[in-house]
Amino acid sequence: MRGSEVDFSPVRISRGSDIHILSGTQGELVKINRKGEALQPVSTPFPTPIIDGLIIDQIWFGIWLDREFRQARMAALPIDIVWGDGSSREELRTAINSQKGSDLVPSKSLWHRVMDSEPMKMGKSGENVVFATISGIYMIDARATEVWRGLLPRWPPISSISAYDQIVGIVEFPGGISIWSKAGGLSVLDPSNGLEIFSRVIDFGDSVSGVIFSDDGGWFVMLHEGSIAIMDKIEGEHRIYRTGRPVLDAEFENGDWRWTGWRQDGILSSSGVDISERENVGIAIIDGMVLANDGSWSGFQDYSESPVIE
């Protein structure tokens, strides 16, 4: 089957086992299967941008952040029902102006919370959600009950820029919950209580934009100016590879790291780095298929025709 083109501009994908969720620039959401086919119509449960999302079991958790209205909220949407459109942008504006903005909630949500500080990133730990705001790090369960809360990690070597640093990765791995900052700060938290069990600062020579972990491939660190760093172990050394352009997503497959990004696809194998040009911007790679920012699907390093998704 061929992947169906998405009729909005997708910015990220939340990966599940059989169902993935695409989100767009204006809060659009659509469920797709492993073949890239839309399972239901596109919906906009809440009319503001979504900055992060993840799937645990049969629930999608998302964070909406509206800088114009200075509002952020988190909600959980069950995947096994049909989603629908929520309030309009104008209805939200009217409600906020009348101090009733918190009365509007994402459509079909199991629960929602208006956040009291600006969110930065979210991740998972087992069946729980871990998220960071500018005031701390929190773990909640699927029903939004708080499990623990803690302060943001502190890294003395980069403390002079802490006001401008931000959390860009919350990644579960066998050693705990890893917290990555834009400036290279790295902490590992104990998932049972949120206490820090490991900390270091890594000088990548560039700012970190995202982090991916694979049990077989180790750590894949995306750097802002067009490089990647590979780490076998979280306490080990890193190797830098120049890509020339920003990388936006990657997966480890058959012993190689494969990535997509700003008008390129790339692969890191035992023979080195191989980069191919693409006509658009790849924002996600799944099972060798690349989703571009124009909503189209194509095969990894294959742009001559519409790909076949097996």
**110-125 confidence digits (pLDDT tens):** 999 999 999 999 999 9
Q: How many domains does the chain have?
A: 1
Is the pLDDT at 5 greater than 90, yes or no? no
Q: Could you tell me if residue 176 is left (phi over 0), alpha (psi between -120 and 50 degrees) or otherwise beta?
A: left
**Containing domain of residue 99, as a range?**
1-115
For residue 191, tell me if it sits in a domain.
no
Q: Could you tell me if residue 254 is left (phi over 0), alpha (psi between -120 and 50 degrees) or otherwise beta?
A: left
For residue 45, tell me if it sits in a domain.
yes
CATH code, domain with 40: 2.40.10.480
The type of residue at 173 is F
Structure pTM? 0.93
pLDDT of residue 99: 72
At 125-135, the pLDDT tens digits run 999 999 999 99
Which among 256, 305, 124, 272 is positioned nearest to 285, based on CA atoms? 256
Work out the pLDDT band at 4, boundaries 50, 70, 90: low
For residue 38, tell me if it sits in a domain.
yes
- Are the C-beta atoms of residues 69 and 114 closer than 8 Å to each other? no
For residue 241, tell me if it sits in a domain.
no
- Those residues with Cβ within 8 angstroms of residue 132's Cβ, 6 or more apart along the chain or in another chain: 119, 120, 121, 122, 138, 152, 167, 170, 179
For residue 86, tell me if it sits in a domain.
yes
| Measured distance CA(17)–CA(31) in Å, rounded | 12
pLDDT of residue 304: 39
For residue 30, tell me if it sits in a domain.
yes
Cα separation values, 288 from 61, 70, 151, 222, 297, Å? 25, 38, 39, 19, 10
